[in-house]
Amino acid sequence: MQKNKQLNGILVIDKPKGLTSTEALEEVKKILKVKKAGHGGTLDPIATGVLPVFLGKATKVAQIFLEGDKVYKGEFQLGITTLTYDITGEVVAKYNVPDISVEDLQKIANTFIGEIEQVPPPFSAAKYRGRPLYKYARDGLLIPKEPKKIKIYEFKILEKKDNFVKFYLSCSKGTYVRALIHNLGEKLECGAVLSSLRRVKKSVFSIEKAITLEDLKSILKEDPKKIQNYIISIEKALEFLPKIIVSEEFSQRVKEGRQMHTTSFLSFIKFQKLTLSPTEKWIRIVNTKGKLVAIIENPLLNPSSPYVKYFRVFKDN
């Protein structure tokens, strides 16, 4: 297959265990023979599951999906702690595990639900002075980071067998599942490490739409054109954002990069009897043909700003 410059959109990959997200991305680029691509949300090598890959023009909107929430299914092991907070790391300590039920575990898990502060694990991609923490950790330097606010929407204990516990987790961006399990182990006073993890949803992308790297190779071998059946268009992926339909004349002004006064734009929305929520960060502007013209930051978030802030303009649509 020759170099393909025509692929634009999002391909949802089921990342295999053992690869970093970057390594999985490079595999996709190699298989598809494309240069411009990026992934939407880091997964540790131990983790599998949803890894959105943004191809071509879709890289311009990746940030919107990076800010989306995440859903996981996984398992943790009680009775040990490791440097990495998962089963792959060097064991720091071993503990006797008390007789604890699923119900008791759920009570502890419930204490993490809501907005909490979390300190990134020492072996992570979080950066200190521009360098990932895991590189310091490999040199024996465990750099403490300031805690960050995250949100835990659901944390369900599903099953316990011996010292292994299966769980379901729904959380915000920036959540380190390893750190959450480590903190749970601290509250239990018997230690806990992440033993397996599978991301089943990231933003609007679910595992049901994901394909493996092997599937990707098979599809291309059978018929390269069929890959388009698995690529989600930018317009389709962004359908969850509120939209404003504008005339061809208005859309042309946007494409030319003309500034829009915030007050005038809000008046236009009111005149059109459109309802916007101040909780929405992004808004789609589409033309009368349904084509995506631009993505803007919601002016309700900063109504005192003199001009509407463009996030992306799609001049080719």
Q: For residue 9, name the pLDDT band (cuts at 50, 70, 90).
A: very high
What whole-number distance in Å separates Cα of residue 121 and Cα of residue 72?
18
Helices 102-110, 177-188: axis angle to 10 degrees equals 120
Q: For residue 2, name the pLDDT band (cuts at 50, 70, 90).
A: very low
Is 69 a known active-site residue?
A: no
Domain ranges of the chain: 9-67+205-234, 75-163+175-191, 243-313
9-67+205-234 and 243-313 share one fold: no
Q: What per-residue confidence (pLDDT) applies to 275?
A: 76
Residue of 131 and 194 predicted with greater confidence: 194
Q: Which of 163-172, 176-185, 268-277 has the lowest mean pLDDT?
A: 268-277
- Quick one: residue 221, left, alpha or beta (phi over 0 = left, psi -120 to 50 = alpha)? alpha
Could you give the 3-state DSSP secondary structure of residue 148? strand
Residue 186 has pLDDT above 80, yes or no: yes
Q: What per-residue confidence (pLDDT) applies to 129?
A: 54
What whole-number distance in Å separates Cα of residue 213 and Cα of residue 199?
16
Mean pLDDT of 121-128: 61
The one catalytic residue among 44, 69, 86, 316: 44
Which of 3.30.1360.30, 3.40.50.300, 3.30.2350.10, 3.40.50.970 would CATH assign to domain 75-163+175-191? 3.30.2350.10
What whole-number distance in Å separates Cα of residue 53 and Cα of residue 26?
10
By CB atoms closer than 10 A (0-12, 13-18, 19+), residue 304 is exposed
Quick one: fold of 243-313?
2.30.130
Give percent of the chain above pLDDT 70. Answer: 91
Residue 1 has pLDDT above 50, yes or no: no
The class level of CATH for 9-67+205-234 reads alpha beta
Q: Which of 42-56, 109-123, 206-220 has the lowest mean pLDDT?
A: 109-123
| Percent helix / strand / coil, the chain, rounded to 5 | 30, 35, 35
